[in-house]
Amino acid sequence: MEFKRSIIITGGAGFIGSHVVRLFVNKYPEYHIINLDKLTYAGNLANLKDIEDRPNYTFVKADICDFDTIMALLPEYHVDGIIHLAAESHVDRSIKDPFTFARTNVMGTLSLLQAAKLYWESLPEKYEGKRFYHISTDEVYGALELTHPEGVKSDVSAHEVYGDEFFLETTKYNPHSPYSASKASSDHFVRAFHDTYGMPTVVTNCSNNYGPYQFPEKLIPLFINNIRHRKPLPVYGKGENVRDWLYVVDHARAIDVIFHEGKTAETYNIGGFNEWKNIDIIKVIIKTVDRLLGNPEGYSLDLITYVTDRMGHDLRYAIDSRKLKAELGWEPSLQFEEGIEKTVRWYLDHQEWMDNVTSGDYQKYYDNMYKDR
């Protein structure tokens, strides 16, 4: 079958990647979507069961660091677009094992860039009609102050805000964790490939995502699962850190718009203007899970356990995504209350998925990561 476009999505078996793959496979039957994923502990093909038999979908198990394999794949599939999400993504793991983060996030991104450069430059039309889209995080900008620890109403946000400043596309990079340092480095390489070789790149920096299929090492799925099993909820520090939460399907929608309409060499921030203190979000999760499980209100509050803070824990992230709205018309479709309800319901209804990723091989890998070296 002749396809109009051939797009590699890296990290398509992970949390955000699986939503992006699903959106593209369903929305663009005329595109060939190639999901390239190493299937680390965070990648799971069960995330894509509903679309795996589609004629416009192909899965390739590969490591982005394996330059020779990528070099062979690009001409094999006549790839004209790369949407790059594959990464090591968990801050706590980066603190234990920074090398893995540098390898995948920095060297892996460089390997993809160099392979794309060599392949696209070998074609008669070169970079025309091509796009290298790199997905990054707001964490590269560092941390913001909590100038309003109690939260104040603001005209830019549907929710309360906890500080006067927001991350803009022009905010200077100032990463603090090995994870954010590795992502920052990869962002710089992507921009360097545009500035040096003229590669048509685009970079987006998004706030914290939540929704179905997130690996339960991250706050929201971990806490939903722990509440269900009456396990302690480890709140780092005082629970005062602020994150800006976006429903993952809204991130996937933004990626679609930016892949097609974003300007070459631009950066777009993606966020929901939806700041929450960790402790407040944790209380919302507890309330929602208790209600859906038929527990009395406040039943699981006793599971909250304050633990030693994360090293170098960034205080506040808050994205200003007005550029994306003004230039490309994107804005979040879901209010947080609706998104969190959908999310909690999804995890409670998909216990089998949760049991699978928290047992067997998965758990072995996970335990190995955390054992003392």
Q: What's the sign of the alpha-carbon dihedral 341, 345, 332, 219?
A: positive
Instruction: Give me the catalytic one of 37, 63, 80, 139.
Output: 139
Catalytic residue among 179, 317, 347, 366: 179
Per-residue contact string for residues 83-112; x = within reach of ligand TYD by CB under 6 A: --------x---------------------
Task: Confirm whether 139 is a catalytic residue.
Answer: yes
Please report the sign of the dihedral spanned by the C-alpha atoms of residue 241, residue 247, residue 248, residue 253. negative
Environment class of residue 361 by beta-carbon count within 10 Å: exposed (0-12), middle (13-18) or buried (19+)?
exposed
Q: Give me the least distance between CB of 105 and ligand NAD, in Å please.
A: 7
Question: For ligand NAD, what does the binding mask look like between residues 104 and 133, x meaning CB under 6 A?
Answer: x---x-------------------------
212 touching ligand NAD, by CB under 6 A: no
Cβ(69)–Cβ(62) below 8 Å: yes
Q: Could you say which of 218, 251, 253, 277 contacts ligand TYD (CB under 6 A)?
A: 218
Q: Which of 38, 194, 243, 253 binds ligand TYD (CB under 6 A)?
A: 243
Binding of residue 94 to ligand NAD (CB under 6 A): no
> By CB under 6 A, is residue 234 in contact with ligand TYD?
yes
Q: What is the rounded CA–CA span in Å between residue 247 and residue 272?
A: 8
What is residue 81's three-state secondary structure?
A: strand
Out of 7, 70, 219, 319, the residue judged to bind ligand TYD by CB under 6 A: 219
Distances (CA, A) of 138 to 96, 285, 317, 328: 21, 23, 7, 19
State which amino acid sits at residue 215.
F
Q: 367 an active-site residue?
A: no
User: Which one of residues 202, 222, 252, 270 is an interface residue with ligand TYD (CB under 6 A)?
Assistant: 222
CA angle 165, 170, 173 (to 5 degrees): 85
Tell me which of 38, 131, 253, 287 binds ligand NAD, using CB under 6 A. 38
Structure tokens at 40: 């680390």
- The residue sitting closest to ligand NAD, measured at its beta carbon, is 14
| Residues 6 or more apart whose Cβ sits within 8 Å of residue 165 | 144, 145, 147, 318
Comparing C-alpha atoms, which of 69, 27, 70, 87 is closest to residue 255? Answer: 27
Closest CA to 339 of 272, 286, 293: 272
Give yes or no: 179 in active site.
Answer: yes
Q: Footprint of ligand NAD on residues 148-207 (CB under 6 A)?
A: 183, 206
Indicate which of ligand NAD, ligand TYD, none lies near residue 87 (CB less than 5 to 8 Å, by partner kind): ligand NAD
Rounded distance between C-alpha atoms, residue 288 and residue 173, angstroms: 36
Q: Which residues pair with 202 in a beta bridge?
A: 133
One-character DSSP codes across 184-220: HHHHHHHHHHHHHH---EEEEEE-EEESTT--TTSHH
- Rank residues 63 and 217 by Cβ distance to ligand TYD and give the closer one: 217
Q: How far is the CB of 91 from ligand NAD (least distance, A)?
A: 10
Q: Which is nearer to ligand NAD, 85 or 318 (CB)?
A: 85
The residue from 104, 241, 274, 321 that contacts ligand TYD (CB under 6 A) is 241
Q: Which residues are catalytic?
A: 138-139, 179
* List of residues contacting ligand NAD (CB under 6 A): 10-11, 13-17, 37-40, 42-43, 63-65, 85-89, 104, 108, 135, 137, 183, 206, 208-209, 215
Residues near ligand TYD (CB under 6 A) are: 91, 208, 218-219, 222, 234-236, 241, 243, 278, 310
